Amino acid sequence: MNISFTKKDDLNATISLSVSPADYEAKVNESLKDYRRKAQIKGFRPGQAPMSMIQRMVGRDIKIHEIDKLVSETLTKYIGTEKIEFLVQPLPSDSQEPVDLDKAGDHEFIFDLALRPTIDFAFNKTVELPYYKIQVSDEMIEKEVERFKNKVGKTEPVAVASVDSFLKVELVQVNEDGSEKELPIANYNATMSVSVIKDEEIKQKFIGLTEETELVIDLKKAFPNDTELASLMDIPKEEVAQTEPFFKVSIKEITEYKPGELTDENLKKFYPDGTVTNETELRAKIKEEIEAFFVQESDYRLSVDARDYMKTKSNFAMPNDFLKRYLVATSKDGKIDAQTIENEYDAFVDGFRMQLMLDKLAREYGVTVSEEDVRAVSLAALSRQFRQYGLTLEMLGDRVNEFVNSDLKDSKKREQYASQVVEDRVFLQVKELVTLKEKSVSEEDFKKLFEEEVAE
C-alpha cells in the first residue's frame, strides 16, 4: 500500500492511499471462509456450501467491507505515526474520482484533512486581569448564626399572638355579619401562620390576640390561594370558588418557633470533631467557610475575564471551507444543510476557536484527567441534584457508587465532566501566571458584574 501526505496550505492537506489486491485479498479470503463455516444454506450441511456460491452471495460485500476497514485503519495509524496535528476527522476529498471496487487492480482513495492552526498567545505576568475579592460582611455572618440557632430551636407556646405566631384554630363558616349559618362548613383542627396572611388589615387583627379569642374574617381575602383555602376549609379545591368566604376563627393555641442556644452540645451536632464549641468560634468558622466559598466564586469570575482576554487573541485563521463541509457531512440524518451552516457558522467557529485555545493551554500546562477526577465531578453533580429533594450523599450510604456508575454510563456526561476538570485546572494555572489586579467588592456589586453582562 502506498500512502502520501500533501500539504496544500497552512490549514489544509490531503492524504492519498493506493490500495492493491495484495493488501486486502488475504483478509477477504479469510472472511469468506469464516462465513462459509457459519452459513446455514438449504441443501448443504453447515460449512459444506461451495465457495463459488458463497462468493456469489456475499463476496462483493465482504470485499467492500475489508477495503473500507483497511483504508480507515491505515489512515488513522498514519496520522498518529506522523503526529499530524489535525482538527477533525478527514473527509473524502472533493477531488476523489469514483472508485469502482468491482474492477480488478489498484484503487486510490484521497482524503481532505483540516490542520490545526497556529495559535500564538500565552498567559504570563504581562497579562493583567481583575481579581474580585468579595467582602464578608457582618450581616452575612449574623444571618448564618441565626440559621444555626434556628436549626437547634423548638416550638414553644406563647401567651400573645405576633406576626411570627402559628395558630391552632377552629374555623366555622358564618354569615358576613357573624351570625350562624344553618349548615356551615367547619374545620375544628386547622393551623394558620400569621406571617403568611396576605391582607395586611386582617393580619393586624390577629396581632395581640390570646387563646380562646374569636373573630370573623374574610378567609378568601386573607388567603387568596385555592389550595390553601381548600386545606383550611377542609373541602375539595374545586368547591372553593363557590364557597362563601366569611368564617369565625376561634384561637385554641398560640405557638412560636424560638431559636436555640449555641451551646457546646448543640454545636457538636454540626461540628462533631469539637472544633467549634461556642458562638465566638462559630462566627470565626462561618467567616472562614464563606471566604472559602467566595474564593471559588472569584476564581470562576477570573475564568470569565480570562476567556474575554482570550477572545481578543482568537482571530487566527481557520479552515472554514473544510469545516462547513464537515458540519454538513456529519449532521445526523442530514438535517443540517449548507444554508443552515452558513447562517450559524460564525457562532460555531467562535466556540471552536475558544476550545482550541483551551486545548493548547491544557497541553502546555500538562493537564491530565483521571477516572477518579471524572467520578469526583459526577459525585458533586449528584450531590447538588439530591439536595433538591432533601437528601444527602451520607443518606445514600454504599449506594453512592451505584449512582455514580449509572451517571457515567452516559458518554456525553462523562465527556462534559472531563472537560470541566480540564477547564478548572487550566484557569487555576492561569491564576498563578498572570498579574492579578485585586479589587475588593461587596457581594451585591459582584453579582452585578454578571447581571450587567446578561443585560448587554
Q: Say whether 165 sits in a helix, a strand or coil.
A: coil
Please, what sign has the CA dihedral across residues 391, 397, 400, 403?
negative
Q: Where are the domains of the chain?
A: 2-114, 128-142+276-455, 154-258
Report the half-sphere exposure of 162 (CA within 13 A, side-chain side): 8
Q: Give the DSSP per-residue string, 84-151.
A: --BSS--EE-TTPPPP-TTSSS-EEEEEEEEBPPP------TT-EEEEEEE---HHHHHHHHHHHHHH
- Segment 440-447 shows an average pLDDT of 95
Rounded to two decimals, what is the model's pTM?
A: 0.74
Cβ contact 222:195 at 8 Å: no
Phi, psi dihedrals of residue 186, rounded to the nearest 5°: -145, 145
Determine the Cα–Cα distance for residues 138 and 290; give it in Å rounded to an integer: 12
Give 217-220's long-range contacts (Cβ < 8 A, gap of 24+).
217/246, 217/247, 217/249, 218/245, 218/246, 219/171, 219/245, 219/246, 219/247, 220/245
Phi, psi values for residue 4, rounded to 5°: -140, 150
Name the band, by pLDDT with cuts 50, 70 and 90, for residue 340. Answer: confident
Q: Determine the pLDDT at residue 439.
A: 96
Each residue's pLDDT tens digit, 414-428: 999 999 999 999 999
Residue 187 confidence (pLDDT) above 70: yes
For domain 2-114, the CATH superfamily is Trigger factor ribosome-binding domain (3.30.70.1050)
Kindly list the distances between the CA atom of residue 31 and the CA atoms of 1, 59, 217, in Å, as whole numbers in the listed order. 20, 9, 88
Would you place residue 1 in the very low, low, confident or very high pLDDT band (cuts 50, 70, 90)?
confident
Stronger pLDDT, 116 or 384, i.e. the higher one: 116
Nearest to 150 by CA among 294, 253, 270: 270
Answer whether 374's CB lies under 8 Å from 421's CB. yes
pLDDT at 456: 54
> Of the candidates 193, 189, 191, 188, which has an alpha carbon nearest to the alpha carbon of residue 161?
193
**Architecture of the structural domain at 154-258:** Roll (3.10)
CATH architecture of 128-142+276-455: Orthogonal Bundle (1.10)
pLDDT at 79 over 70: yes
